[in-house]
Amino acid sequence: MNSIIRIAVQKSGRLSDDSLALIKECGIKFYNGTGKLKSTSTNFPIEFLFLRDDDIPGYVSDGVADLGIVGENELVEKDKDVDILKKLGFSKCRLSLAIPKGQEYTNIHYFQGKSVATSYPKILGDYLSKYNIQAEIHEISGSVEIAPSIGLAEGICDIVSSGSTLMMNGLKEVEEIFKSEAVLIAHKNLSEDKLAIVEKLLFRMNAVQKGKSNKYVLLNAPNESLEKIIQLIPGMRSPTILPLAQEGWSSVHSVISEDQFWENIEELRAAGAEGILVVPIEKMVV
């Protein structure tokens, strides 16, 4: 029998575009017309379920889906038993405690005996009990930031990105309690057949991620500085050196992480490198 795996992704929201982009960059083709809840790839044994992100941890732990892409915040809050295969590096955000701007904040003990509104009662409860703080947690599903101004709670715990929503509601961030990014999760105990497909998918995702964090660098350099330049941009095995038409000069091609490139740029130029080009890499298999 030909196996197929099923992956749950967010239907629409702050996870969905990057989730689908990653899958496309893995060379996996599929159709996701508006309103479709299910789709099958035409060139890889994978089927998609488009869901609300709240439901993804449960579907994966139940085995209705074999894989899922979800935020760590949602995963930890739902407290489902699944394997985390990979951090994906997008949908980065933080969960923070916030209080009315005019209040003076000392430390986490500020919240002793206070009421806090949140959509993340488990994460917040765990955090507060770590500090032995008893607070009254009001679970609400949305528009958490208006809770203090309507008298529902004295503070809130919610996702913060820029902080502008907090400011508009007269609140200030006082404590970061959880950092989150999107993760690829898997059902525990997948069959051998399914695991083999998951391995193939992971191989492709790793190649895409590696490609993104590295750049292809081309530069011209006088031959006498080649030794120094090779040390600065050692590449995957070693750089490619090609002679230029102009005598005494070479073109050096290499692969380097973007961070390392910026760290080494001054030294490269000091060594005589010029005409430096930095080109994106689509996939990288080492």
Interface with Mg ion (CB under 5 A): 53-54
Task: Report in angstroms how near the CB of residue 142 gets to ligand ATP at its nearest.
Answer: 8
Task: Report in angstroms how near the CB of residue 29 gets to ligand ATP at its nearest.
Answer: 24
Contacted entry of ligand ATP, Mg ion, none for residue 154, CB cut-off 5 to 8 Å set by kind? none
Contacted entry of ligand ATP, Mg ion, none for residue 174, CB cut-off 5 to 8 Å set by kind? none
Binding mask 246-285 for ligand ATP (x = CB under 6 A): ----------------------------------------
Q: Are 152 and 117 in contact (CB under 8 A)?
A: yes
Cα separation, 196 vs 185, whole angstroms: 16
Task: Report in angstroms how near the CB of residue 53 gets to Mg ion at its nearest.
Answer: 4
Contacted entry of ligand ATP, Mg ion, none for residue 19, CB cut-off 5 to 8 Å set by kind? none
DSSP of 69-123:
EEEHHHHHHHT---EEEEE-S-S-EEEEEEEETTS---SGGGGTT-EEEES-HHH
Give Cα separations from 105 to 131, 176, 178 (angstroms): 16, 14, 19
Which of residues 4, 93, 167, 241 is near ligand ATP by CB under 6 A?
93
Which of residues 8, 15, 124, 128 is near ligand ATP by CB under 6 A?
15
Relative to beta strand 93-100, strand 171-180 is antiparallel
Q: Which is nearer to ligand ATP, 141 or 246 (CB)?
A: 141
Report 32-71 residues binding ligand ATP (CB under 6 A).
52-54, 71
Contacted entry of ligand ATP, Mg ion, none for residue 238, CB cut-off 5 to 8 Å set by kind? none
Type of residue found at 54: D
Contacted entry of ligand ATP, Mg ion, none for residue 91, CB cut-off 5 to 8 Å set by kind? ligand ATP
Bridge partners of 250, per DSSP, are: 221, 243
The answer to whether the Cα torsion of 99, 105, 106, 109 is positive or negative is negative
Which of residues 74, 145, 154, 158 is near ligand ATP by CB under 6 A?
74
Q: Decide: is 159 part of the binding site for ligand ATP (CB under 6 A).
A: yes
Helix boundaries (H) for the chain: 16-25, 56-62, 72-78, 121-130, 164-168, 192-213, 226-232, 258-270
Q: Are 50 and 32 in contact (CB under 8 A)?
A: yes
Contacted entry of ligand ATP, Mg ion, none for residue 66, CB cut-off 5 to 8 Å set by kind? none
Q: Which residues form the interface with ligand ATP (CB under 6 A)?
A: 10, 13-15, 52-54, 71, 73-74, 91-93, 159, 161, 180
